Amino acid sequence: MAHITINQYLQQVCEAIDNHEGSFCAELLSFKHPHVANPRLQLASPEEKCQQVLEVPYDEMVAAHLRCTYAVSNHDFVEAYKCQTLVVQSFLRAFQSHKEENWALPVMFAVTLDLRIFANNAEQQLLRKGKGKLGDMLEKAAEQLMGCFRVCASDNRAGIDDSKKWGMLFLINQLFKIYFKINKLHLCKPLIRAIDSSNLKDDYSMAQRVTYKYYVGRKAMFDSDYKPAEEYLSFSFQHCHRSSQRNKRMILIYLLPVKMLLGHMPNHQLLRKYDLMQFADVTKAVSEGNLLLLNEALAKHETFFIRCGIFLILEKLKIITYRNLFKKVYQLLKTHQLPLDAFLVALKMMQVEEVDIYEVQCILANLICEGHIKGYISHQHQKLVVSKAHPFPLLSSSS
């Protein structure tokens, strides 16, 4: 298979199309398939041969694909991206003409996936040359994907067996990946709405649903909707295939901060299992209310956290840490009227810079405002008056 001739290849494609063998056809057009490494297929100008064998939209699609393999073999990802764009465009023409059938969905998955990957690679290649602008290529790729998405979403026929809507979630996931990469999360909203209103949302393949929940959960996390975020990410983590350890780790990277913000601390074994020991100190610091340790931990792994995009989330753990720290003060003082100076001492012990009584009041005000502490501050007496019952309610119950 890997060393078939161009004619054999074209014949296979032709038969796959004729027989509506979507999966096989998808393989023949996918860069996950070994044929792309076949030098006999890496042609600079395969147009003529393709034209001789294949029908109109397909000849261009396959020709572009073959030229794409040629470009990839030359490590020219910009050219590869252009070719792949043609592949998607010509596929879309064929796809649109498919009435009452969706056998080509696997092909769409293959070509759109490669399009996104090549857009990414092309952008990196351009940026290394100092050309282009971050996100341009991916945005253009997203436009192509949206074209496919519209075709799928507009299939409003009653029958769902051969509905193109089965392709929506895959495309949405690809779009999510792009939007997250270029920080255009607001563009995700209509996509989420489309799935929420879909009667198929629970019937897509688990792999796609896991991916979808992962991104929706991340988006909720960035929107500070921690409860839904925990729900989505937990679903994703629990249903992610056990062999996809890397994916599970990625899910955990976002699920852990959310869980911690909600008061659920991960145990050491979990962190070790997924090689996420960067969270170990953070977890320890938060649970102990050790602000100093938390700052150190965050500073120590700042690069990692920033690259994961969770630094700002972890930063909010400081609030939880304040709460835990102040709870200790409360437990030490064993009174419901806590002098603010006591908190100032605690904060200074944690080596918080330039801290003063105003800042203590400010921190307390936030904790009270967010429900982490039940009580009030008497400005006149400079005391924190806490509730006699559950002055520090459980994090998971606070809103």
Partner 1 sequence: MAANTTQTAPAANWSYGAPEAQTVSENPEWEKARQALASISKTQSATKTAQANRTTAQAGQFQPAVTESTAIQQQQQQQYYQQWYQQNQQQPYPGYTYPYNYYYPMAPGPYGGGGYPPQGQYGVPPGPYPSPTTPTGQPPSLPMMDDKSSSYPPQPQPPPPAAPQPPPQSPTSSEHPPPPPPPAVPPPPNSQYPLPPGQNSYNPNNPMPYPNNDPNQMRGYNHNQGRPSYGQSYQTQNSYQQQQNNNQHQQPGPGQYGPGAGRGEANKNKNHQQQQQQPQQQGGQGQQLWHRMKQAPGAGAMKFNIPKRPYVMTNQSFPPGEQPTGLAATPSSPAAAPAAPGGAQTRPQDWPQAMKEYVQRCFTACENEEDKDRTEKGLKEVLQKRLQDGSAYTIDWDREPLPELKAKQSRWEAVSTQRTLESSVGRGGGTGGATRGRGGGARLGHYRNVFSQRSPSSSSSGSSSRSPSPSHSRHRDRNGQRHRRSDSESQSDSSMSSDLRTQLPRRNQKGGRGRGGDRDRGRGGGERGRGRGGRGNRGRRNMDDANSTVLGKKRKGGNAGLDFHDPHREAKKQSRAARFHNTKMRSEPLVLSINNLELPKEDLSWDDCPIVGTCQEITKIYLRLTCAPDPATVRPVSVLRKSLLAVKAHWKTRQDYPYACEQMKSIRQDLTVQGVRTEFTVEVYECHARIALEKGDHAEFNQCQMQLKALYKDNPSENIGEFTAYRLLYYIFTKNSGDITTELVYLTPALRADECVSHALSLRAAWALGNFHRFFQLYRRAPRMASYLIDKFVERERMIALRALFKTFRPDLPVEYVQSSLGFLCLDSCMAFLTGLGVTFFPSDPSKIDCKTSSACLAAS
Footprint of partner 1 (CB under 8 A): 47-48, 50-51, 55-56, 59-60, 63-64, 67, 78-79, 82-83, 85-86, 126, 130-133, 136-137, 183, 185, 222, 306-307, 309, 311-312, 315-316, 318-319, 354, 356, 358-359, 361-366, 368-369, 376-380, 385
Residue 57 CB, shortest distance to partner 1, in Å, is 9
DSSP structural state of residue 161 = T
Which residue type sits at 173? N
Name the β-bridge partners of 339: 383
Give the residue with the Cβ less far from partner 1, 93 or 284: 93
Give the residue with the Cβ less far from partner 1, 59 or 155: 59
Give the residue with the Cβ less far from partner 1, 98 or 201: 98
Contact 154, 102 (CB under 8 A): no
Give the residue with the Cβ less far from partner 1, 43 or 265: 43
Q: What torsion, rounded to 10 degrees, do the Cα atoms 123, 126, 128, 134 define?
A: -50
Residue 35 CB, shortest distance to partner 1, in Å, is 19
Angle between helices 226-239 and 206-222 (to 10 degrees): 150
Residue 54 CB, shortest distance to partner 1, in Å, is 8
Residue 170 CB, shortest distance to partner 1, in Å, is 24
Residue 21 CB, shortest distance to partner 1, in Å, is 17
Contacts 24+ apart (CB under 8 A), 331-340: 336/375, 336/385, 336/386, 336/387, 336/388, 336/391, 337/381, 337/383, 337/384, 337/385, 337/386, 338/383, 338/384, 338/385, 338/386, 339/382, 339/383, 339/384, 340/364, 340/377, 340/382, 340/383, 340/384
* Cα–Cα nearest to 255, from 217, 285, 283: 217
Give the residue with the Cβ less far from partner 1, 77 or 109: 77
Place of tokens 């879309």: 92
Give the residue with the Cβ less far from partner 1, 168 or 286: 286
Contact 366, 350 (CB under 8 A): no
The runs of H, that is alpha helices, within 98-163 are 105-128, 136-153
Contact 214, 249 (CB under 8 A): no
Residue 294 CB, shortest distance to partner 1, in Å, is 12
Residue 78 CB, shortest distance to partner 1, in Å, is 7
Give the residue with the Cβ less far from partner 1, 168 or 364: 364
Cα–Cα dist 115/257, whole Å = 32
Q: In the Cβ-directed half-sphere of 182, how many Cα atoms lie within 13 Å? A: 24
Give the residue with the Cβ less far from partner 1, 270 or 365: 365
Residue 215 CB, shortest distance to partner 1, in Å, is 13
Give the residue with the Cβ less far from partner 1, 123 or 230: 123
Residue 156 CB, shortest distance to partner 1, in Å, is 27
Query: CB-based burial of residue 399 (10 Å sphere; 0-12 exposed, 13-18 middle, 19+ buried)?
Result: exposed
Place of tokens 């034209």: 51
